Structure 1
């Protein structure tokens, strides 16, 4: 089945919160687009320079907010305006797949709505973790608390407009049930990087090509990157951090000599970075643990926080090991324990194969067909 507008085929569209980043959710949208290559993408903000270049080949419809260069470059500034922006993104299609971590599930549509939920909005349901501190302790947090009541009402009304909910992990399934009272089906997203594609050396890391630990993350408080950086201070081990975000300047200023931070990498660079690493460090509380799958596609194990989406994607003793808390001490202990560990690269790759894109496409297309069939019936 393919989405489209001609020949009597069902018209399938895709909605996403904002296309301003190069993150796991945006990779999932690209995978959805490969399943439905004729689909138009509807989003509040689109920054071609800030997100994956493959989106340049797609038909993208944006909200009125996209006229603001400042908001395209920092979508967080648009938070109080996003419900209004989403309401001005009407989707004329037989079915819209809403890739949502807070907003896209509210798009108005003339057809069916299938929500693929990455997580209920963190700033509403996990504000402490999202901000990295209690909301009342900062101006931003207090502003968020003031906005929360109307945003919660909007969010719950938006969730109620869905015909079906899919979620990316068991922990998100539980959060959706708690937030909305909806029983959702778990459909893990595929890992996003093809390990067989072209590779390009990262110049800043060329002298470390013989190996290092790797951390791939947005540099936000709840990602616990600072704790991982502290863990390597004084260790006879190296750490490469790939990512960007509000904490980048602070992390660069405090990183010890055996830690390097790189950003702005394309997929060819990421293949080089993964293939030259020895293990992935994953210290954040994730809704879905994508980076262990990316590392695993290259046969690399993961040392992960025993929580969240990593519980679904890391197989202990096969593809990685867990540590208990996202602290420098626990990360350091996990690195030390891994020094003499022996990992079977083929077993790791075999585990990752169960999260392949063809598997994701089969289940997603089946969910779309079921909804459209029920509608025709």
Structure 2
């Protein structure tokens, strides 16, 4: 079975790219396509992998300003010759699912979300984009939505990364989907779960909260900064993005900006925080689950994907309104129960989101689809890809079987 994996673009390495890594582990001989790819980034994460770019990358400043070529991406996708492939897996957040396959080939779309900037968050994106970019989005959104809906019929099966996204798929495309939560690294800092929570500290031994995110408008990082300043709490902001300068300008001396960090530093900031602050509305939210895997509670906006792992009073605290006062109140409520939130219980609550479970569920979906397609060959069992970091052994089969099953259902 010849396999192609289509990802939107490789310019950062966040949740969508971690899903890609697991797909590549399942299908190590797959050919990989994307609109643009930062080869240095690829080599640092998957050494030796060659990504086949669409002609978007060849346009003037295409690698740097590729988002401005969004209206051309449908044509770029449809120009790919994928006739040799039996199985096509599209990783959709930016446009990828609109490729054209053989009639007898199988196309599975793992949907992180329908494109937010043309659907339910389009007004927010236009508002925060500035005059010219906002006008540009307004001009292209209508026909991009038409193309997006039309090409949803080219997909044989949708997999959604959360119930929240599954409802979006149903609402915008009129398609059912199977929910398979994204894979989350389950490594924890050695001995963390044996530590007393009051001992957690940061630079200079001062206890701190952390927010870890791309610094863009819809993440609502400003709420975390203002709430921390209102309460006089230390906050560490991990990440970079277009709002970095604006957020730094509004922050007081109690807010430390760590910027972009490597994986070990990232895990350290999460593991030693009192709690992760998560004020945005997210499709799923891998970072909060990573924090919980390190025994760190989460204070999250209780809407969207967060509802699929947040257990109020067990692994964190939720708040129902996206406002500074609501987040500040949630922080104070967390502090009143902080001593009761045991790191080992916080970690146990999210073990079901490990990468092994993702692989098992994806293969279950594929097997089910192939049962209906006797004309297609079945893929052979795939060993761990030698170019990708090996799967953590932190989550054993016995651990998996003791925990509640993740959601694996369809939304009509």
Relative distance call for 1:306 and 1:274 in structure 2 (3 A) is same
SS of aligned partner of 1:375: coil
* TM-superposed deviation, 1:49: 4.4
Match of residue 219 from structure 2: 223
* TM-superposed deviation, 1:94: 1.2
Match of residue 95 from structure 1: 87
Contact 1:282 1:304 in 2 (8 A): yes
Instruction: Specify which of 139, 145, 148 is matched with residue 138 of structure 2.
Output: 145
* TM-superposed deviation, 1:191: 1.0
Segments ≥4 residues shifted beyond 4 Å: 49-52
* TM-superposed deviation, 1:235: 2.5
Match of residue 61 from structure 2: 70
- C-alpha distance in structure 1 between counterparts of 2:186 and 2:81, whole Å: 32
Instruction: Specify which of 17, 26, 50 is matched with residue 26 of structure 1.
Output: 17
- C-alpha distance in structure 2 between counterparts of 1:12 and 1:196, whole Å: 36
- Residue deviations 1:139-167 (CA, integer Å, cap 9, x gap): 32222121122211211122110000110
Match of residue 255 from structure 2: 259
- C-alpha distance in structure 1 between counterparts of 2:185 and 2:288, whole Å: 11
- C-alpha distance in structure 2 between counterparts of 1:37 and 1:320, whole Å: 37
Alignment of 1:231-270 (within 5 A): 231-270=227-266
Instruction: Specify which of 182, 197, 202 is matched with residue 189 of structure 1.
Output: 182
SS of aligned partner of 1:232: helix
TM-score (norm 1): 0.89
Contact 1:14 1:40 in 2 (8 A): yes
| Unpaired segments ≥5 residues, structure 1 | 1-9, 198-204
- Residue deviations 1:194-236 (CA, integer Å, cap 9, x gap): 3369xxxxxxx97345531111111111110112111112433
Q: What is the root-mean-square deviation in Å for CA atoms of aligned residues?
A: 2.3
Contact 1:129 1:221 in 2 (8 A): no
- C-alpha distance in structure 2 between counterparts of 1:210 and 1:52, whole Å: 37
Instruction: Specify which of 265, 278, 284 is matched with residue 282 of structure 1.
Output: 278
SS of aligned partner of 1:326: coil
SS of aligned partner of 1:86: helix
Contact 1:241 1:260 in 2 (8 A): yes
Relative distance call for 1:315 and 1:12 in structure 2 (3 A) is farther
| Unpaired segments ≥5 residues, structure 2 | 191-200, 376-412
- C-alpha distance in structure 2 between counterparts of 1:281 and 1:257, whole Å: 18
Contact 1:14 1:39 in 2 (8 A): yes
Relative distance call for 1:50 and 1:159 in structure 2 (3 A) is same
- C-alpha distance in structure 2 between counterparts of 1:112 and 1:14, whole Å: 12
Judge which range, 328-337 or 303-312, deviates more.
328-337
Q: Which has the higher contact order (CA 8 A, sep 6+)?
A: 2
TM-score (norm 2): 0.82
Aligned residues: 361
Match of residue 6 from structure 1: none
- C-alpha distance in structure 2 between counterparts of 1:174 and 1:191, whole Å: 22
1:155 aligns with 2:148: yes
Instruction: Specify which of 282, 301, 310 is matched with residue 306 of structure 2.
Output: 310
- C-alpha distance in structure 2 between counterparts of 1:370 and 1:165, whole Å: 13
Relative distance call for 1:319 and 1:129 in structure 2 (3 A) is farther
- C-alpha distance in structure 2 between counterparts of 1:104 and 1:169, whole Å: 19
Instruction: Specify which of 109, 114, 124 is matched with residue 118 of structure 2.
Output: 124
